[in-house]
C-alpha cells in the first residue's frame, strides 16, 4: 500500500488512465527524453506520450525510437551516465522486454540508475502464454536492482515514484516496471503523491545516510595516513555516482596522495593532474600498477576490488594496509580484508576527512617524487615504426584536438582499452563504457543517449569492427534525429582482444576469429544510413587532415580508420596473475626488480 502523503500536485483529483498517470509522473521526476520501441502491449502509454506533448509543449518529453530495444535501454544508460539523471526506456511486452535484459544487467553491474517500463499482456492473460507474453518479473529479478509487476492499479502512482527512488538512492541501479495493458487503460483518480513502503530497504538506506565517522574512527584513519610512507588512493565509479569528484581532488591535494582509478572511475580526478596515475588493473598503466605494488597504505573509495583490478587478490597491494569507503556494505571485505572501513556516501565521507584534518600537516614528498619517476620511466608507448596506422596514434591525435573535453563512449575490446589509456578526461561522466559486463555494442547507442542528454557537448563513439556490428542499426538513429554523434571505427578486421588472448595464451589457435570480416563496407553502410560525412583512412599521410574534418563536421559523422591487427593492448596482467607478472609489451619499459624487495614496508623512504 502507498504511504499517505499530502498531495499538493496541480493535477491531484483529476481522472486519468494509468498510461496518463505514468507520463505525468515521468515528467514530475524530471524526465525529458524516453528511448523506446512501440508494440501492442505498450500502445496506450505511447499514445499518452503523444498527447502529453500536444497539451504540454513546454514540458515536452522527447521520444526517440531506436532500431532495437537493446539500443533503447543502452541509450537510456548513456543518457543517465552522461547527465547523472535517471534514463528511461519504454518497450513492449515479450521480445521487446527480453531484448532489454542485457542492458539492464549491464546497468546493474555498473551501478547505473535507469528505469525500464515494459508493456505486459492484460493481467487476466498473465501466465497463459499469451501472444508476446514473457515472464518479465522472473527474468529481470536476477538482473535488476528491483522489479515491479503492477497488479493493483491503485498502487500505480506509488510504484512508479518508488521505482525512481530506488534507482537513484544508495548504490544506484536499474529498476524494471512490468506494466499490464489493462492497467494502462484503467481509469482512476490521480493522487499526485505517495510512495510504496520499503521498510527493509529504507531502514538500510537510513542507516547509511545517517552514518557518520566518529572521532575515534577519524583519528585511526589519520594515524594510518601519518604512519604511511607510500599512501595511494584507489578510486572507483562510486566517486562519480556520488558526485564526489571535487571532494576526491581536494582530499588528494590536501594530503598529497596520488590517485589511481578503475575503468569506471576514470574522470573522477582530472587525468592531466600530476597526482593522477591513471587507470590500474589488467590493462592499467604500468606506473599505476607498480604504484599499487609499492604502496603501504591503499585508500579504496567507491571501488570493489573486482577481478580485472585485483587479479590475484592475495598479491594485490600486498604491502599495504587497506582503508575502504563504500556505499554498499556488501563490498567491504568481499575480496580484500580492510584494516579500516566506512559504509557511507563517498562525498560525505571525504568532506568529513578533509574538515577533520584541517590542522594536519602530512607530507609524502619522497613518495610523490618516486611516483613521478614511475610515470616517466614506464610511460605509455606504442609502435612508432610500423607502416600501418596504429590505433593508439588515432586516439592520441583526436585527444590533441578535443583536449579532454569530449564525452567518449566505447564498445568493448581493444579499442575500449586504448580509449581509456590514450584520452584525457578532465571531468567525470565523460567516459561511458561497459565495465563489468563488457557488452559489445554498447558504444553507439550510449553515444546517442549521451548526445540527447548533453546536446551541446561533443560526443564521440570509439568503436571496433566487431563491437559496432552488434547494434549497427543505431547508425540510422543518429541521422533520423540529426544527432551530431561522431562515430570512429578502428577497423583491424577481427575480434582484436580475443585474437590477443589466443595469441598469448592459446598457441595462436584462432578458433572463431579467423573469419577476417572483410565483406562489410562500413563507409557505404554509413552513407546508406544518411551520414553526409563518411570517410575511410588507410594511409597515415591522410590521417590528420581527415580526423580534423571528422571532428569539425556538422551533424553526424562517420570515420573508419584501418589499423594494425597486431597492435595489442599493453600493459596486460594475464588471468590469475599478479601485477609483478604484468606484460608491458615491446614498447613500454617494464622493471626487472622489485625496488622494495629487500626492505620492510616501514623502512622504505
Cell representation of residue 285: 598503466
Classify residue 462 as exposed, middle or buried by CB count within 10 Å of its CB (0-12, 13-18, 19+).
buried
Q: Where are the alpha helices (DSSP H) in 142-262?
A: 156-168, 181-185, 199-210, 215-227, 237-241, 245-255
Q: Are strands 33-37 and 62-64 parallel, antiparallel or unpaired?
A: parallel
Helix pair 414-422, 496-505: axis angle to 10 deg: 100
Interacting residues of 285 by C-beta distance below 8 A, sequence separation 6+: 277, 278, 279, 378, 380, 421, 571
Interacting residues of 75 by C-beta distance below 8 A, sequence separation 6+: 35, 64, 66, 87, 89, 445, 446, 448, 449, 452, 474, 477
Cell representation of residue 522: 562500413
Cell representation of residue 427: 571531468
CA torsion sign for 556, 81, 301, 360 is: positive
Distance of CA 43 to the CA centre of its chain: 31
Q: Which residues are catalytic?
A: 69, 131-132, 181, 497
Which DSSP string do the residues of 411-435 spell out, in sequence order?
-SSHHHHHHHHHS---STT-EE---
Amino acid at each position: 500500500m502507498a504511504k499517505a502523503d499530502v498531495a499538493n500536485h496541480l493535477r491531484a483529483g483529476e481522472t486519468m488512465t494509468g498510461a496518463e498517470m505514468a507520463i505525468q509522473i515521468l515528467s514530475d521526476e524530471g524526465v525529458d527524453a524516453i528511448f523506446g520501441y512501440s508494440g501492442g502491449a505498450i500502445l496506450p502509454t505511447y499514445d499518452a506520450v503523444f498527447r502529453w506533448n500536444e497539451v504540454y509543449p513546454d514540458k515536452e518529453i522527447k521520444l526517440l525510437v531506436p532500431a532495437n530495444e537493446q539500443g533503447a535501454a543502452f541509450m537510456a544508460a548513456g543518457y543517465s551516465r552522461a547527465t547523472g539523471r535517471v534514463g528511461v526506456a519504454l518497450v513492449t511486452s515479450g521480445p521487446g522486454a527480453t531484448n532489454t535484459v542485457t542492458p539492464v544487467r549491464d546497468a546493474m553491474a555498473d551501478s547505473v540508475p535507469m528505469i525500464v517500463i515494459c508493456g505486459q499482456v492484460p493481467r487476466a492473460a498473465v501466465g497463459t502464454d499469451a501472444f508476446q507474453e514473457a515472464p518479465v518479473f522472473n527474468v529481470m529479478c536476477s538482473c535488476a536492482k528491483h522489479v515491479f509487476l503492477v497488479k493493483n492499479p491503485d498502487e500505480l502512482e506509488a510504484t512508479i515514484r518508488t521505482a525512481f527512488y530506488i534507482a537513484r538512492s544508495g548504490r544506484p541501479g536499474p529498476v524494471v516496471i512490468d506494466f499490464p495493458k489493462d492497467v494502462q487503460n484503467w481509469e482512476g483518480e490521480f493522487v499526485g503523491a505517495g510512495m510504496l513502503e520499503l521498510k527493509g530497504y529504507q531502514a538500510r538506506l537510513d542507516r547509511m545516510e545517517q552514518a557518520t565517522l566518529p572521532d575515534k574512527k577519524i583519528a585511526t584513519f589519520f594515524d594510518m595516513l601519518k604512519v604511511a610512507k607510500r599512501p595511494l588512493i584507489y578510486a572507483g565509479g562510486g566517486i562519480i555516482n556520488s558526485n564526489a569528484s571535487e571532494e576526491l581532488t581536494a582530499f588528494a591535494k590536501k594530503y598529497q596522495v596520488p590517485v589511481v582509478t578503475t575503468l569506471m572511475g576514470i574522470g573522477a580526478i582530472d587525468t592531466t593532474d600530476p597526482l593522477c596515475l591513471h587507470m590500474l588493473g589488467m590493462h592499467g598503466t604500468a606506473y599505476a600498477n607498480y604504484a599499487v605494488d609499492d604502496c603501504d597504505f591503499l585508500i579504496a573509495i567507491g571501488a570493489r576490488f573486482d577481478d580485472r583490478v585485483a587479479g590475484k587478490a592475495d598479491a594485490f597491494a600486498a604491502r599495504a594496509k587497506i582503508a575502504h569507503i563504500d556505499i554498499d556494505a556488501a563490498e567491504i571485505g568481499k575480496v580484500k580484508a580492510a584494516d579500516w572501513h566506512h559504509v557511507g556516501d563517498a562525498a560525505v565521507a571525504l568532506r568529513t576527512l578533509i574538515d577533520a584534518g584541517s590542522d594536519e600537516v602530512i607530507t609524502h614528498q619522497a613518495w610523490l617524487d618516486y611516483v613521478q619517476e614511475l610515470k616517466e620511466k614506464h610511460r605509455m608507448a606504442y609502435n612508432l615504426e610500423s607502416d600501418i596506422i596504429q590505433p593508439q596514434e588515432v586516439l592520441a591525435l583526436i585527444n590533441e584536438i578535443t583536449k579532454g573535453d569530449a564525452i567518449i563512449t566505447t564498445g568493448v575490446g581493444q579499442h575500449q582499452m586504448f580509449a581509456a589509456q590514450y584520452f584525457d578526461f578532465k571531468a567525470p561522466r565523460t567516459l561511458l563504457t561497459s565495465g563489468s559486463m563488457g557488452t559489445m555494442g554498447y558504444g553507439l547507442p550510449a553515444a546517442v543517449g549521451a548526445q540527447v542528454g548533453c546536446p551541446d557537448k561533443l560526443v564521440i563513439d570509439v568503436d571496433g569492427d566487431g563491437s559496432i556490428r552488434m547494434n549497427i542499426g543505431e547508425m540510422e538513429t543518429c541521422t533520423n534525429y540529426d544527432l551530431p554523434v561522431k562515430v570512429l571505427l578502428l577497423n583491424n578486421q577481427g575480434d582484436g582482444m580475443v585474437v590477443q588472448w589466443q595469441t598469448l595464451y592459446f598457441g595462436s589457435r584462432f578458433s572463431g576469429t579467423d573469419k577476417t570480416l572483410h565483406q562489410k563496407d562500413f563507409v557505404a553502410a554509413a552513407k546508406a544510413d544518411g551520414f553526409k560525412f563518411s570517410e575511410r583512412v588507410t594511409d597515415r599521410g591522410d590521417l590528420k587532415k581527415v580526423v580534423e574534418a571528422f571532428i569539425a563536421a556538422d551533424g553526424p559523422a562517420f570515420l573508419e580508420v584501418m589499423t594494425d591487427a597486431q597492435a595489442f593492448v599493453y600493459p596486460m596482467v594475464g588471468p590469475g596473475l599478479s601485477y609483478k607478472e604484468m606484460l608491458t609489451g615491446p614498447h613500454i619499459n617494464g622493471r626487472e626488480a622489485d625496488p622494495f624487495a629487500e626492505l620492510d614496508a616501514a623502512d622504505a623512504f
